[in-house]
Amino acid sequence: MLTWLGVLLAAVCVLSLGVNAWVLREHCLTTEIPSTISHPLKLWTLFYGLLLLLTWGDIFEKLGICTMFKFIRFLHDLLPIRMDPQVAVTNLRFGSVPVRLFQPTAPSSGPRRGIIFYHGGGTTFGSLDLFHNLCSFLARETDSVLLSVGYRKLPDHHSPIIMKDCLNASIHFLKALGTYGVDPARVVLCGESVGGGTVAMVTQSLVGRSDLPRIRAQVLIYPIAQAVNLQLPSFQQNQNVPFLTRKFMARLVCNYMTIHHSWHHALVTGSFIPPEAWSKYKKWLSSDNIPKRFKTKSHQPSFPAPFNEAAYLEMKHLLDVENSPILAEDEVIAQLPEAFVVSCGNDILRDDALLYRKRLEDQGVPVTWHHVEDGFHGSVILFDKKHLSFPCSQEIMNAVVCYIKGI
C-alpha cells in the first residue's frame, strides 16, 4: 500500500513540475510587459500564476473532474470579502438572476443616487463575491445605492444571456427605485470589461422606454465594444500583454458565441465580414479612427482578409448589435446619456474604448474620457489588494468615484 502511495505521490510531483516548467517556458516566450507598467515583475508574476491556474483547469477539464471555468471561479471566490459597517449588503434574486444590493447605512436627507453595476470576467470569470469589495467601495464613496448583477455565464450559458440577464435585472430595479430609496433622475449604469460592453448594450436597449426612468449616465471601464475588428492597433501592440491576450480573448469569444475554435484565424483576420458589411461599418471600426499617437510605424492595417462565406455563416452573429454595440444605428446612439469612458494604454481593448468614445461624440453625446497610460486590462479589480495592487488600479477607481459624485 505504501509503495503505491509513494508511486502516486511521485507521479503527482512529476506532473506538477512538468506543468510548472511548461507554463513558465510559454510565459517567458510569449508574455510582453510594456515599459510603462509601474511594477513589471509584480505583473509578470501575477500573470504567471493565472496561466498556471488556467493550465490546471484545462487538465481537470480533460480528466472530467470539472470545467476550467468553474475551477477558476471556485478559486477566485475564495478571496476574502470585506464587510464594511458603513454599507448594508442584501442578497436578492430578480427572477433567475442573483443580485446584491449595497446601501450606505448613514442617514440621507433624500433619495440617493443609484448605480447598477455589471462585473467583468470575459463571459467566464467574475462573480458577485469577486467584485464585492469594489461595489462596496463604490457605494460608500459615492453615497449611492448600488445593485450588482450576478449574470449567468459560461460554460452553461452562451450569448446573449449576459445582456438579457443584465437588462432584465436593470428593468426590475428601475421599476422599484422608490423601494430602495433611489432618485429616479440619478441612475448610473457602470461596468468593467465585458460589463462595460454590457452597459453600452443595456443603455441602448432602454432608449425610448417611456415607462422607465431615463438613465442619467453610463460608465464604461475599458469596455469591449465589438468583436469584429481584432486587427486594431491595440490588438497588435498589446496582443501578449496581461491579463487579456488576443489569443485568450479569441478563445472566449468563440466559447461565448458558440463558434468552433477551428475558425480562430477567420475571427482574428476578419475574413467572415462581407464586403458590403465592411463598407457600412468601417467608418466606425477602421483603425483610421484611432488617434495617431496610439499607432506605431509598424502598424500596417490589412483588414479584413478576403471574404470567406463559410466563415460568415459560422460567425455572422458577431455583427449583431447585441454582440457589438458600436454597430448601433446613429439615431439610437444620439439618444444615449452622457458617458464616462476609461481606457488603458496596455490593454488590447484600448481601441474599443477610443472607437466607442468617438462614436458617441460624433452623435453629440457628451463624453468624459479618462486614459490611464500605465493601465492594463483587469487592473481595477486589484485596487484594494494591497501589495498586489498597482497605481493605475487606484487611479481608475478614484476617477470613477469622482465622476459619479458629480452626477
C-alpha distance from residue 49 to each of 16, 238, 251 (Å): 13, 19, 19
DSSP 8-class letter at 39: S
pLDDT tens-digit readout, 260-298: 999 999 999 999 999 999 999 999 999 999 999 999 876
Least confident of 10-14, 91-95, 98-102, 166-170: 10-14
Q: Which one-letter amino acid corresponds to residue 210? A: S
Average the pLDDT over 18-24 and give the result: 73
Residue 403 phi/psi, 5-degree rounding, is -65, -50
Q: Which of 190, 77, 200, 81 is nearest to 138 (CA)?
A: 190
Q: What is the pLDDT of residue 318?
A: 97
Helix, strand, or coil (residue 9): helix
pLDDT digits (tens, 9 = 90+) for 223-260: 999 999 999 999 999 999 999 999 999 999 999 999 99
Rounded mean pLDDT of 288-315?
89
CA distance 128 to 17: 34
Non-local (6+) Cβ contacts of 9 within 8 A are none
Residue 17 has pLDDT above 80, yes or no: no
Contact predicate 380/393, CB 8 Å: yes
Sign of CA dihedral 263, 267, 271, 276: positive
Q: Are 180 and 174 in contact (CB under 8 A)?
A: no
pLDDT the model gives residue 292:
92
Q: What is the secondary structure of 82-151 as a DSSP string? A: P--TTEEEEEEEETTEEEEEEEE-S--SSPEEEEEEE--STTTS--TTTTHHHHHHHHHHHTEEEEEE--
Among the residue ranges 23-37, 194-208, 244-258, the one predicted with the least confidence is 23-37
Q: Give residue 158's pLDDT band: very low, low, confident or very high (50, 70, 90).
A: very high
For residue 6, what pLDDT band results from cuts at 50, 70 and 90? low
pLDDT confidence tier of residue 168, bands split at 50, 70 and 90: very high
Collapsing DSSP states into helix, strand and coil, what is residue 221?
strand
Alpha carbon of 131 to those of 220, 310, 383: distances in Å? Answer: 16, 40, 11
**Dihedral angle sign, alpha carbons of residues 78, 404, 92, 196:** negative
Task: Specify whether the CB–CB gap between 120 and 126 falls below 8 A.
Answer: yes
Mean pLDDT of 210-219: 98
As a whole number, mean pLDDT of residues 332-346 equals 98
Asked whether the predicted pLDDT for residue 2 surpasses 60, the reply is: no
Give per-residue pLDDT as tens, 69-86: 899 999 999 888 999 999
Residues identified as active-site: 193, 347, 377
Question: CA–CA distance from 403 to each of 156, 338, 347 (Å)?
Answer: 36, 11, 22
C-alpha grid cell, residue 157: 450559458
Indicate the burial class of 389 (C-beta count within 10 angstroms; 0-12, 13-18, 19 or more): middle
Could you tell me if residue 80 is left (phi over 0), alpha (psi between -120 and 50 degrees) or otherwise beta? beta
| Residue 252 identity | L
* Contact in structure between 226 and 352 (CB atoms under 8 Å): yes
Cα(330)–Cα(333) distance, rounded to whole angstroms?
A: 5
CB atoms within 10 A of CB 397: 20
pLDDT for the residue numbered 130? 96
Cell of 39: 511594477
What lies within 8 Å, CB to CB, of 398 at 6+ separation is: none
Say what the pLDDT of residue 29 is.
77
Average pLDDT over residues 286-314: 89
Q: What is the pLDDT of residue 297?
A: 72
* 149 neighbors 115 (Cβ within 8 angstroms): no
**Cell representation of residue 19:** 506543468
- Tell me the pLDDT band of 4, cut-offs 50, 70 and 90: low
- β-bridge pairing 87-94 and 97-104: antiparallel
Predicted confidence at residue 323, as pLDDT, reads 95
Q: Identify the structural domains of the chain with CATH numbers, from first to last.
A: 86-207+214-290+300-407 (3.40.50.1820)
Residue type, 366: P
pLDDT in tens, 388-405: 999 999 999 999 999 999
Cβ neighbours of 330 (radius 10 Å): 11
